[in-house]
Amino acid sequence: MSDVYKSGRWVYSSKTDKIKFTSSIHIISLAVLFQYFIFKELPEIIYGILGFFIRDAFIWDFFDPEEVSYMIFNAMAIITTLVSCAATGAFIILCFQKFGPGTDSFFARDRVSYKFKLPSNTPVLLIAGVCIMEFSSFAYMFLNVFLDKFFGVSPVLPSDTYSYFPQTGAGAVLYFISLVVIPALAEEFVCRYVMLNALKKYGNTFAIIVSSVFFGFMHARASALIYATAMGLFLAYIAIRTKSVWFSVILHALVNCISFVFLYLSSLPFLYDESVDILYLMFSALIFFVCAVYLIVLILKKKHRYDKLAAPVNCVHIPAKHKLLFFFNAASIIFFVLTIFKSLEEYGFLGV
């Protein structure tokens, strides 16, 4: 092995090691940039194709035109998510096999796999994950209050924002699949299976941080950046601890399912917006209360010790200054700039 063992840690030293690490940097960065453009360009193409093929279909005789349009929109979202995530994952795996450190990380003994395995305290961890999401959402709200108070800046909804909720069972099922099921399966495949396994060779902490930052920026919205990054850290940590992607899939689906439920409640004619806001606050308060009680119980039982993640098999230690290259290579910079511009649209800086 070309790595040199120093002070209990593997340190890369050979030219081959450095080339492999640099290639992994560019492969991951190019992959997320590639996915950004797929998400940007593919939806309109798919929406147009679907609309063309069913414009004379019998479906128009059974559903309201607005319902059909929204069903097409959700079908487009499903196809776009599946295609973009499958293409991104395949791009990373194939490039690692051809140009990078190889695919050994995907077959190592301690890899994150699709073997069904959940933590022993899964219910509590699910609640904790929802709590992180809710806390991050409130942090975003406070950020908006701060920006509005001191700088007079607040989010601006795009003129084409679509708040329609399906009015039929078929439409609701399709919307549920597009919002809850597909993102949980596809995004966890890319971020918690492909990215984590690709980067674990250079340390678990490094893999968790990089995959979580990219997961946050992949959402390309300021409103999602905070909670997506926070959730990414939590999901990646549990995935590495359990060596399974399934807890991440379940929690991801649960978080999206909560959004689905409150969107449905908002669509009910007998519930005012204020009523839905009160229900949401009550739900958030309950989640925070359960997490607080559980944390107190852990402290009283002295079971709050943090267990450090074990180093991956054949871990290669990379100096911190070299790890920063992951965020400052050309592809990463372009990706971050594009997503930041996209986020600025929320605040009306670039027009919406």
Please say if the pLDDT value at position 3 is more than 70: no
**Cβ atoms 235, 252 nearer than 8 A:** yes
Give residue 60's pLDDT: 67
The string of DSSP codes covering 207-248 is HHHHHHHHHHHHT--HHHHHHHHHHHHHHHHHHHHHTBSHHH
Give residue 7's pLDDT: 41
- Share above pLDDT 90 across residues of the chain, in percent, rounded to a whole number: 26
Q: Output 104 or 166, whichever has higher pLDDT.
A: 166
Please say if the pLDDT value at position 16 is more than 90: no
274-287 tens-digit pLDDT: 888 899 889 989 99
pLDDT band at 10 (very low <50, low <70, confident <90, very high): very low
Please say if the pLDDT value at position 298 is more than 80: no
pLDDT band at 107 (very low <50, low <70, confident <90, very high): low
Mean pLDDT score of the chain: 81
**Cβ atoms 252, 188 nearer than 8 A:** yes
**Cβ atoms 281, 265 nearer than 8 A:** no
Range 156-183 average pLDDT: 80
Least reliable range by pLDDT among 59-68, 189-198, 328-337: 59-68
- Chain centroid to CA 142: how far? 22
Give residue 82's pLDDT: 94
Range 125-154 average pLDDT: 84
The strand pair at 4-6 and 9-11 is best described as antiparallel
CB-based burial label for 142 (10 Å; 0-12, 13-18, 19+): exposed
Range 316-324 average pLDDT: 75
Helices (H), the chain: 15-54, 59-62, 65-98, 122-151, 169-176, 182-188, 196-199, 204-218, 222-242, 246-267, 273-300, 320-323, 325-328, 330-344
**Cβ atoms 331, 223 nearer than 8 A:** no
Give residue 306's pLDDT: 57
- Residues 6 or more apart whose CB falls under 8 angstroms from that of 290 comprise 127, 131
Give residue 192's pLDDT: 93
Structure-token pair, residue 9 = 């840690």
Range 16-34 average pLDDT: 82
Which of 128, 138, 107 is closest to 247 using CA atoms? 128
Q: Look up residue 100 and give its DSSP letter.
A: S
Give residue 8's pLDDT: 40
Range 72-82 average pLDDT: 91
- What number of other Cβ atoms are within 10 A of residue 40's Cβ? 13
- Share above pLDDT 70 across residues of the chain, in percent, rounded to a whole number: 84
Range 129-158 average pLDDT: 80
Give residue 352's pLDDT: 45
Range 49-58 average pLDDT: 73
φ, ψ (nearest 5 deg) of residue 10: -80, 130
225-248 tens-digit pLDDT: 888 888 999 999 999 999 999 999
Give residue 79's pLDDT: 93
91-37-69 Cα angle (round to 5): 115
pLDDT band at 148 (very low <50, low <70, confident <90, very high): confident
Q: Output 116 or 220, whichever has higher pLDDT.
A: 116
The whole model's pTM is what? 0.87
Q: How far is CA 284 from CA 136, 253, 254, 297, 343, in A?
A: 12, 18, 14, 20, 26
Give residue 260's pLDDT: 93
Q: Output 295 or 86, whichever has higher pLDDT.
A: 86
What is the C-alpha to C-alpha distance for residues 215 and 225, in angstroms, rounded to an integer?
8
Range 214-230 average pLDDT: 81
What is the C-alpha to C-alpha distance for residues 15 and 114, in angstroms, rounded to an integer?
34
Please say if the pLDDT value at position 253 is more than 60: yes
